[in-house]
Amino acid sequence: MIPPAIRSQLIEIVGSARYHDSNEARLSYSYDATPNFQALPDAVIMPKSKEEIQAVLKICNEHGIPIVPRGSGTNLSAGTCPTQGGIVLVFNHMNRILEIDEENLTVTVQPGVITKQLIEAVEARGLFYPPDPSSMKISTIGGNINECSGGLRGLKYGVTKDYVLGLEIVLPNGDCIRTGGKSPKDVAGYDLTKLFVGSEGTLGVITEATLKLIPIPETKKTMLALFEDLDAAARTVSAIISNRIIPATLEFLDQPTCKVVEDFAKVGLPTDVNAVLLIEQDGPLEVVERDMEQIARICKEGHAVSVKIAQSKAEAEALSTARRSALSALARLRPTTILEDATVPRSKISEMVRAINQIAEKYNVTICTFGHAGDGNLHPTCLTDGRNKEEMHLVEKAFEEIFRKAIELGGTITGEHGVGEMKRPYLSLKVGEEGVAAMKAVKQAFDPNGIMNPGKMFAKDARKRVVMTR
Amino acid sequence: MIPPAIRSQLIEIVGSARYHDSNEARLSYSYDATPNFQALPDAVIMPKSKEEIQAVLKICNEHGIPIVPRGSGTNLSAGTCPTQGGIVLVFNHMNRILEIDEENLTVTVQPGVITKQLIEAVEARGLFYPPDPSSMKISTIGGNINECSGGLRGLKYGVTKDYVLGLEIVLPNGDCIRTGGKSPKDVAGYDLTKLFVGSEGTLGVITEATLKLIPIPETKKTMLALFEDLDAAARTVSAIISNRIIPATLEFLDQPTCKVVEDFAKVGLPTDVNAVLLIEQDGPLEVVERDMEQIARICKEGHAVSVKIAQSKAEAEALSTARRSALSALARLRPTTILEDATVPRSKISEMVRAINQIAEKYNVTICTFGHAGDGNLHPTCLTDGRNKEEMHLVEKAFEEIFRKAIELGGTITGEHGVGEMKRPYLSLKVGEEGVAAMKAVKQAFDPNGIMNPGKMFAKDARKRVVMTR
């Protein structure tokens, strides 16, 4: 609980209309999209300026009160669950697009802007902001930056970090710093911009961001390639890229995923083949057509049983929307859906998919796999029941083995979801004890009192991933 | 001087053939490409493995002996001048390309690989490593990473940081960490990879790097656009990009630069116009042709007096080679050449070029300007005489005013050369005292004893830029 004297100080800063500590408010912000993590914050604050945030942080830093910055809470790593209580910062009053600069191809935004609204606003000017996490309809750009969100267009265009040029950040001590700017080239000191992207709210509070835009691609085409053999599909992913073609999107869906997605979205996805590749290319028309022809050829050589190009924009849109709905579709089947994002070099996709299936069989758990195959970023998704302790134990064992396999293949424990609370026991698998120590030193440098999103990223003990806290 | 007992320990690690402390050796590594900075190191070590580096760093960390990692010393910020003595680490025995992975489009290298050799090796496989600093014939990839080098292709393709996927790093305490890997998507903890890119050797020693490659563009065309009006040329840079065209290269040369470059390289550069834009586009033939047509149209609308497309590969190559020789050409004119890299948002180029000329006039110093106009990254280059104290004082004043103007226009004090020793008094202009404090905290986190390239990046006092040290 926030002591009454401090509570009064905080209310003085933001006003009582933007300070909430009713049970309802606390409950509303006690969880995010991650199953089985919940903890009540002590209060919820909705700041409307960096000055308010500076004042709040100064007080919290002095009194050791946790601060959890939160966008729409769509993350899947329990990154915004206030596991140690404290204050959840919500940015619904800092949700403006401040400037679209058409000469410098940048957009400057407040953290609370919804990703899709940003994308639509710049597209209306013929510009393009590529990072498109599946949650983009509700996710905020602040959340995307803190998690370094990926998306379906990551293969060709990269992820959030590739588009953040500059940040305004409030540090735990109340200092406000500006990193980078509108120039893509800037080597004045350490690249704090990139350090903060993906820092999961553990170093400071991002209060403004300048993002890079690119010209919008002239055209886009979408293709479905169907495979009887899962391995053949995975090998085809590698073959396309080895042929020096980088599609905008190169998604993989296994048969169980296709089945539930089709059941949910009804867009004509095949449900009778073992694997589907959803492939998009964008760019100048001549190039897109040439690439699509070559990709079709490579798919056929790779034993695709069918290769079909969407005949209209509506059909193409329906397919990618269906793919984006995979999590929602899968979530209907059983009480708990755990979506992971073990990632491997793309040449290892086939080996990884096989390993996931073997591991699921070994532990007798249901895992569907889909994801951004072109990036080697798979989403093995377990359909389970969080109330069944015995089953959950097996799920944990299975995922731990999946993470270990990803590392063994030269990959990582998380491609785009972050470590959060959920994967902190596994961080050292990827970066080693020395790497964890180096990262902890960075944390200590910015946040010596440990108020920023405590309990995230770093394991305190060997606690396993699916734990109900507080 | 290294105490005899420690000297013996170090020789035991690397052998006497790779430990040098003769006057000749020390003198050879007492300077880099930055005029007017020189300081003798105590010794020069040429390690051949990360294990040797770990052992050397442990000893130096214990005894507070400075470590200066150095590539070919082509930097222009006194970044590798051993201003506080200690040991210069030279990587001529760690200069192998370890792997070109055609399936994952990566190359893994040791730090001592020469940039151009790397570029040629991957191009032989139909792959492309875009960062191309003007010094690429002699610069090393380790140096490029430590400085986050840019180059002529930065506008379309980005700079070194955009291509570093993973690093192996030895920390001052002797720990060896691996960051990132072959997957472009990896959010397991803080992005230490990007933090180390551009860290100027102040945090640790990079011993291996995995770099991203892309398919090599199918074709390339080169154009020269000539302008009587300097302002018109600068406005045309903005106009091209506002028209949603991103050329691979968009270089600006003012008349004095053109004149000396032509005199040096004899490639037919015009010497009778006030500004020249050197423009390259690469990609699929149809797209390149279409873009070049549009660019030509925009240049003419922008009052270019002549627009000429190179008619052969040889002619195109000669033009960009001539541009790369600008520093060498200018350096022939007077004893000391100080090349700076103040950078502004590209919409401000015209204003910046005007300001540079006014400032040069005000202080009565000779400044030629050329650079990567598309990135807003200009190289105002002062031709002067380091022995003339009075003139140097004016040069310093002029550059300080140029830096302040760049900041005022939303730019930065350095786009691609780094802070080093030379620009440390100006870092706070860009990032503020709070920003410097945050960066110092990062430095402290990795290098608490301050052995890594001490005296760089952070100002100890208000000493000005052109100082002879030790």
Would you say residue B467 has pLDDT above 70? Answer: no
Per-residue confidence (pLDDT) for residue A468, from 0 to 100: 36
Per-residue confidence (pLDDT) for residue A98, from 0 to 100: 98
Q: A148 and B191: CB-CB below 8 Å?
A: yes
Q: Quick check: is A290 in a domain? A: yes
Q: A377 and B183: CB-CB below 8 Å?
A: yes
Q: Quick check: is B246 in a domain? A: yes
Between strands B87-90 and A164-170, the pairing is unpaired
Q: B412 and A188: CB-CB below 8 Å?
A: yes
Domain residue limits at A358: 334-417
Task: Mark whether A200 and A105 lie in a shared domain.
Answer: yes
pLDDT tens-digit profile of B318-330?
888 888 888 888 9
pLDDT tens-digit profile of A113-127?
999 999 999 999 999
Task: Mark whether A253 and A202 lie in a shared domain.
Answer: no
Instruction: Report the C-alpha gap between B106 and B86 in whole angstroms.
Output: 35
Q: A241 and B105: CB-CB below 8 Å?
A: yes
Percent of chain B with pLDDT over 90: 88
Q: Quick check: is B16 in a domain? A: yes
Residues in B touching A457 (Cβ below 8 Å): 189
> Bridge partners of B226?
B276, B306
Residues in A touching B162 (Cβ below 8 Å): 162
Q: Which of B188, B345, B415 sits opposite A430 (nearest CB)?
A: B188
* CATH code assigned at B366: 3.30.70.2740
Q: What is the pLDDT confidence band of residue B464, given thresholds at 50, 70 and 90?
A: very low
pLDDT tens-digit profile of B404-452?
999 999 999 999 999 999 999 999 999 999 999 999 999 999 999 999 9
Report CA dihedral (A415, A418, A422, A428) to the nearest 10 degrees: 70
Give Cα A291 distance to the centre of its chain.
Answer: 29
**DSSP secondary structure string for all residues of B337-391:** EEE---B--GGGHHHHHHHHHHHHHHHT-EEEEEEEGGGTEEEEEEEE-TT-HHH
- Identity at B71, one-letter amino acid code: G
Strand (E) positions, A328-461? 336-339, 366-372, 377-384
Residues with Cβ within 8 Å of residue B351, at least 6 apart in sequence: B344, B409
Residues in A touching B214 (Cβ below 8 Å): 246
Q: Is residue B185 a contact partner of residue A372, using CB atoms and an 8 Å limit?
A: yes
Which backbone phi and psi does A139 adopt, to 5 degrees?
-70, 155
> Bridge partners of B254?
B275
Report CA dihedral (B423, B424, B425, B427) to the nearest 10 degrees: 90
Q: What is the pLDDT confidence band of residue B123, given thresholds at 50, 70 and 90?
A: very high
Task: Mark whether A101 and A211 lie in a shared domain.
Answer: yes
Q: Which of A183, A195, A377 sits opposite B375 (nearest CB)?
A: A183
Angle between helices A285-301 and A230-242 (to 10 degrees): 140
Q: How far is A21 from chain B (nearest CA, A)?
A: 31
Size of interface A-B (CB pairs under 8 A): 266
Q: Quick check: is B229 in a domain? A: yes
**Strand, helix or coil for residue A36:** coil
Q: How far is A277 from chain B (nearest CA, A)?
A: 18
Instruction: Report the C-alpha gap between A84 and A40 in whole angstroms.
Output: 8
Q: How far is B265 from chain A (nearest CA, A)?
A: 28
Would you say residue A457 has pLDDT above 80? Answer: yes
Task: Mark whether A114 and A210 lie in a shared domain.
Answer: yes
Task: Mark whether A120 and A132 lie in a shared domain.
Answer: yes
pLDDT tens-digit profile of B129-138?
999 999 999 9
Residues in B touching A103 (Cβ below 8 Å): 238, 241-242, 345-347
Q: Quick check: is B435 in a domain? A: no
Q: A215 and B246: CB-CB below 8 Å?
A: yes
Q: Which of B162, B198, B216 sits opposite A187 (nearest CB)?
A: B198
Residues in A touching B423 (Cβ below 8 Å): 188
Q: B102 and A419: CB-CB below 8 Å?
A: no
pLDDT tens-digit profile of B359-403?
999 999 999 999 999 999 999 999 999 999 999 999 999 999 999
Q: How far is A87 from chain B (nearest CA, A)?
A: 23
Residues in A touching B412 (Cβ below 8 Å): 181, 183, 185-188
Would you say residue B197 has pLDDT above 50? Answer: yes
Residues in B touching A175 (Cβ below 8 Å): 434, 437-438
Residues in B touching A346 (Cβ below 8 Å): 103-104, 183
Q: A432 and B194: CB-CB below 8 Å?
A: no
Would you say residue A186 has pLDDT above 50? Answer: yes
Q: Is residue A206 a contact partner of residue A168, using CB atoms and an 8 Å limit?
A: yes
Residues in B touching A104 (Cβ below 8 Å): 345-347
Strand (E) positions, A137-218? 164-170, 176-180, 205-212, 214-215
pLDDT tens-digit profile of A44-89?
999 999 999 999 999 999 999 999 999 999 999 999 999 999 999 9
Task: Mark whether B346 and B263 lie in a shared domain.
Answer: no
Q: B347 and A103: CB-CB below 8 Å?
A: yes
- What b/e readout covers A148-176, taking b as 16+ CB neighbours within 10 angstroms? bbbbbbbbbbbbbbbbbbbbbbbbbbbbb
Q: A103 and B181: CB-CB below 8 Å?
A: no
Edge-to-edge strand ranges of the sheet holding B366-372: B304-309, B219-227, B275-283, B249-254, B366-372, B377-384, B336-339
Instruction: Report the C-alpha gap between B65 and A12 in whole angstroms.
Output: 52
Per-residue confidence (pLDDT) for residue B470, from 0 to 100: 34
Mean pLDDT across B328-335 = 90
pLDDT tens-digit profile of B289-303?
999 999 999 999 999
Task: Mark whether A209 and A253 lie in a shared domain.
Answer: no
Task: Mark whether A129 and A109 lie in a shared domain.
Answer: yes
Note the residue count of chain B. Answer: 470
Determine the residue among B163, B190, B193, B242 to mutate to test chain A binding: the one whose Cβ has the most chain A Cβ atoms within 10 Å. Answer: B190
> Bridge partners of B44?
B20, B88
Q: B161 and A284: CB-CB below 8 Å?
A: no
Per-residue confidence (pLDDT) for residue B461, from 0 to 100: 52
Q: B241 and A103: CB-CB below 8 Å?
A: yes
Q: Which of A216, A287, A415 sits opposite B183 (nearest CB)?
A: A415
> Bridge partners of A106?
A101, A212
Which backbone phi and psi does B110 adopt, to 5 degrees?
-85, 160
Q: Quick check: is A255 in a domain? A: yes
Task: Mark whether A129 and A145 lie in a shared domain.
Answer: yes
Nearest CA in chain A to B236: A103
Two structure tokens written together for A428: 């050292």
Nearest CA in chain A to B378: A185
Residues in A touching B238 (Cβ below 8 Å): 103
Instruction: Report the C-alpha gap between A56 and A94 in whole angstroms.
Output: 15
Q: How far is B27 from chain A (nearest CA, A)?
A: 28
Q: Which of B154, B187, B197 sits opposite A415 (nearest CB)?
A: B187
Task: Mark whether B235 and B317 lie in a shared domain.
Answer: yes
Task: Mark whether A248 and A294 lie in a shared domain.
Answer: yes
Q: B189 and A427: CB-CB below 8 Å?
A: yes
Nearest CA in chain B to A216: B244
Query: Of A199, A215, A231, which residue constitutes the final position of a domain?
Result: A215
Would you say residue B463 has pLDDT above 50? Answer: no
Would you say residue A469 has pLDDT above 60? Answer: no
Q: B343 and A444: CB-CB below 8 Å?
A: no
Which backbone phi and psi does A245 adopt, to 5 degrees?
-115, 130
Specify the higher pLDDT residue, A424 or B267: A424
The dihedral built from the CA positions of residue B55, B60, B61 and B66, taken in this order, carries a sign that is: negative
Instruction: Report the C-alpha gap between B84 and B16 in whole angstroms.
Output: 23
Percent of chain B with pLDDT over 70: 98
Smallest Cα–Cα separation from B426: which of B450, B399, B444, B392? B399
Per-residue confidence (pLDDT) for residue A465, from 0 to 100: 42
Q: Which of A176, A375, A438 sits opposite B446 (nearest CB)?
A: A438
Smallest Cα–Cα separation from A419: which of A81, A142, A155, A137? A81
Query: Of A259, A294, A324, which residue constitutes the final position of a domain?
Result: A324
Nearest CA in chain A to B145: A187
Q: A415 and B214: CB-CB below 8 Å?
A: no
Residue written as token pair 């490029």: B144
* CATH code assigned at B74: 3.30.43.10
Angle between helices A50-63 and A4-14 (to 10 degrees): 170
pLDDT tens-digit profile of B61-97?
999 999 999 999 999 999 999 999 999 999 999 999 9
Q: How far is B315 from chain A (nearest CA, A)?
A: 27
Q: Quick check: is B159 in a domain? A: no
Q: B376 and A185: CB-CB below 8 Å?
A: yes
Per-residue confidence (pLDDT) for residue A54, from 0 to 100: 98
Q: B183 and A441: CB-CB below 8 Å?
A: no
Residues in B touching A127 (Cβ below 8 Å): 244
Q: Which of B103, B215, B432 sits opposite A238 (nearest CB)?
A: B103
Would you say residue B125 has pLDDT above 60? Answer: yes
Q: What is the pLDDT confidence band of residue B469, given thresholds at 50, 70 and 90?
A: very low
Q: Interface pTM (ipTM) of the complex?
A: 0.95
Q: Quick check: is B350 in a domain? A: yes
Determine the residue among A187, A403, A421, A457 to mutate to test chain B binding: the one whose Cβ has the most chain B Cβ atoms within 10 Å. Answer: A187
Q: A417 and B187: CB-CB below 8 Å?
A: yes
Per-residue confidence (pLDDT) for residue A461, from 0 to 100: 52
Q: Is residue A242 a contact partner of residue A235, using CB atoms and an 8 Å limit?
A: no
Per-residue confidence (pLDDT) for residue A466, from 0 to 100: 37
Residue written as token pair 């802007």: A113
Q: How far is B204 from chain A (nearest CA, A)?
A: 11
Q: A194 and B195: CB-CB below 8 Å?
A: yes
The dihedral built from the CA positions of residue B75, B253, B368 and A186, taken in this order, carries a sign that is: negative
Task: Mark whether A314 and A391 lie in a shared domain.
Answer: no
Structurally, how many domains does chain A consist of?
3
Query: Of B90, B116, B136, which residue constitutes the final position of a domain?
Result: B90
* CATH code assigned at A105: 3.30.465.10
Per-residue confidence (pLDDT) for residue A470, from 0 to 100: 34
